[in-house]
């Protein structure tokens, strides 16, 4: 489970990271993680040399079963490991060419990284409008914030009709849209989404998928962490499979969607046809990518 990205620690206004990054031209790589190792409580090694890359303007899917280390990787990227007694012990994270390894969470947001956490962590007691405005906490440019707000209203017409409503009363899908809209209020260069389809009905999952594509079409790079491999790989330019803290497979999204192992492991389809969910779960317990 993730903790909300927020101004949890004081960061000096106009710190070097944000100023430099704002001035920098975009690189070909929106996010680069190189040989990352993460340890919890000084002893539990969870990420064992993970390298992934999100090309600028692309969608990258990160797949993996429960406990593979997906959330840990997101925590490491977003500067939220220390809240969980975790530490990067090796490797690096670069955002649009800038080293953000071990940088503070709020500085990473200002450098251009937006995050939608698992479980749609909206502020249930605030209105839709108030939730969206909290997403602009790192910004001071009123005109720019207003433009971002209008963009969110256009992307999510359903939120426009409910802007004064208490967010806690929205449906699951609407809350997911609100969480994405809030992250976009910071105008991130790259958006990290942690299991956005979790617990949503198939039709709503399709809506969320279409929104992710739209956001990407508007110029935001995307790192999509999902257990719903069909959804993720149907829109991903590139995909990675994480297992036991290691990348065990990677390749173009369409190729992975056709990959025999992935079809068996994540989509429940082997040579013998569709397996039952129970079979797949048993199979998942038996099979390891590394084996
Ligand atoms: P899920 O989809 O279930 O969230 P995940 O792929 O996101 O799984 P992580 O949550 O990153 O996996 O967990 C990877 C491993 O790290 C697991 O074995 C987990 O028990 C361990 N872990 C996660 N958080 C901590 C923590 N704060 N302290 C110790 N171990 C942790």
How far does the centroid of ligand 1 lie from the alpha carbon of residue 195, in Å? 14
Which atom of ligand 1 lies at the shortest distance from residue 84's CA?
A: 27
- Which residues does residue 87 pair with via DSSP β-bridges, in sequence order? 39
Question: Does 70 sit in the ligand 1 pocket, CB within 6 Å?
Answer: yes
How far does the centroid of ligand 1 lie from the alpha carbon of residue 226, in Å? 15
User: In testing the pocket of ligand 1, which one of 44, 50, 63, 65 has its CB within 8 Å of the most ligand atoms?
Assistant: 44
- Confidence at residue 65, expressed as pLDDT on a 0 to 100 scale: 85
**What is the mean pLDDT of each successive set of 10 residues along the chain, which is 291 residues long?**
34 40 66 98 95 98 91 96 95 96 93 86 90 86 89 90 92 92 94 92 92 95 93 95 94 92 70 40 48 40
Long-range CB contacts (within 8 A, 24+) of 101-106: 103/17, 103/79, 104/9, 104/11, 104/79, 105/5, 105/6, 105/8, 105/9, 105/78, 105/79, 105/80, 106/5, 106/6, 106/7, 106/8, 106/9, 106/11, 106/138
- Confidence at residue 27, expressed as pLDDT on a 0 to 100 scale: 81
Question: Does 75 sit in the ligand 1 pocket, CB within 6 Å?
Answer: no
Nearest CA to ligand 1 atom 31: 40
Chain centroid offset of residue 183 CA: 10
pTM, 2 dp: 0.83
Which atom of ligand 1 lies at the shortest distance from residue 194's CA?
A: 7
- Which residues does residue 240 pair with via DSSP β-bridges, in sequence order? 62, 250
Nearest CA to ligand 1 atom 28: 40
Nearest CA to ligand 1 atom 1: 66
Question: Does 207 sit in the ligand 1 pocket, CB within 6 Å?
Answer: no
């Amino acid at each position: 489970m993730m903790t909300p990205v927020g101004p949890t620690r004081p960061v000096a206004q106009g710190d070097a990271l944000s100023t430099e990054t704002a001035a920098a031209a975009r690189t070909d790589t929106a996010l680069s993680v190189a040989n990352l190792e993460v340890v919890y409580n000084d002893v539990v090694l969870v990420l064992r040399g993970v390298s992934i890359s999100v090309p600028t303007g692309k969608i990258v899917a990160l797949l993996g079963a429960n406990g593979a280390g997906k959330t840990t990787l997101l925590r490491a990227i977003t500067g939220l490991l220390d809240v969980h007694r975790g530490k990067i012990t090796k490797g690096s994270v670069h955002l649009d060419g800038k080293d953000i390894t071990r940088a503070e969470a709020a500085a990473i947001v200002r450098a251009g990284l937006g995050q939608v956490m698992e479980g749609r962590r909206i502020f249930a007691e605030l209105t839709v409008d108030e939730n969206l405005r909290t997403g602009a906490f790192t910004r001071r440019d009123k005109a720019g914030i207003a433009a971002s707000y209008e963009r969110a209203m256009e992307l999510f017409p359903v939120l426009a009709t409910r802007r004064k409503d208490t967010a806690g009363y929205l449906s699951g899908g609407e809350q997911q849209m609100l969480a994405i809209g809030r992250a976009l209020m910071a105008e991130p260069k790259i958006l990290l989404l942690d299991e956005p389809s979790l617990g949503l009905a198939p039709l709503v999952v399709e809506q969320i998928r279409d929104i992710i594509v739209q956001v990407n079409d508007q110029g935001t790079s995307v790192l999509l962490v999902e257990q719903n491999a069909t959804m993720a790989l149907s829109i991903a330019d590139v995909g990675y499979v994480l297992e036991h803290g290691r990348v065990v497979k990677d390749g173009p999204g369409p190729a992975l969607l056709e990959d025999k192992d992935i079809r068996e492991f994540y989509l429940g389809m082997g040579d013998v046809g569709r397996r039952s969910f129970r079979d797949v779960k048993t199979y998942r317990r038996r099979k390891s990518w590394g084996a």
